[in-house]
Amino acid sequence: MITLEDYVGPHAGSEDWNQERIDNAVELLRRVNRLIDAMVARKLCRFRISPHTRTMISGQTFGGFRPKSCPQGAPNSSHKEGQGVDLYDPKNEIDTALTDVLLVEFDLYRESPGATTGWVHLTTRAPKSGHRSFLP
């Protein structure tokens, strides 16, 4: 399970961590945690803890919420709006097991597995293409 505290990480004091982004993050984590629970219950893959974040979130400090000043990602990235998270997936087990059927079931979208070796980017924000798996 990913908590709101896990998601915001070291950026809880950022002025960008406002109520709208908190609400976005709560909805994102509701969907992502339901997906995680279902994938574990169905024995589709294992979820691992990142040695850097000590959570299921990937990256050094920017796999969850990113303040606007973060050099990583576009100015309006889903991470900066509380709508995107990167899951730690060092063996690409999650990406291999994750299907569009599951993404539809939990109303999530993901960045193409070919672009995210070692992590899975999930978001509640639909890309312009409307496809569940997309290239940024």
Residue among 71, 64, 37, 41 at smallest CA distance from 122 = 64
Report the largest interatomic distance among the alpha carbons of the chain, rounded to a whole angstrom.
Answer: 40
Structural domains in the chain, CATH included, are: 4-134 (3.30.1380.10)
Provide the residue-wise pLDDT of the chain in tens; the chain has 136 residues.
999 999 999 999 999 999 999 999 999 999 999 999 999 999 999 999 999 999 999 987 778 999 999 888 888 899 999 999 999 999 999 999 999 999 999 999 999 999 999 999 999 999 999 999 999 8
b/e per residue 73-83 (b: at least 16 CB within 10 A): eeeebbbbbbb
Positive/negative CA dihedral, 113, 133, 40, 84: positive
Number of helices (H) and strands (E), helices first, in the chain?
4, 4
Q: Which amino acid is at 50?
A: S
Other residues' Cβ atoms within 10 Å of the Cβ of residue 44: 15
Q: Which amino acid is at 120?
A: V
Q: What is the pLDDT, as a whole number, of residue 60?
A: 76
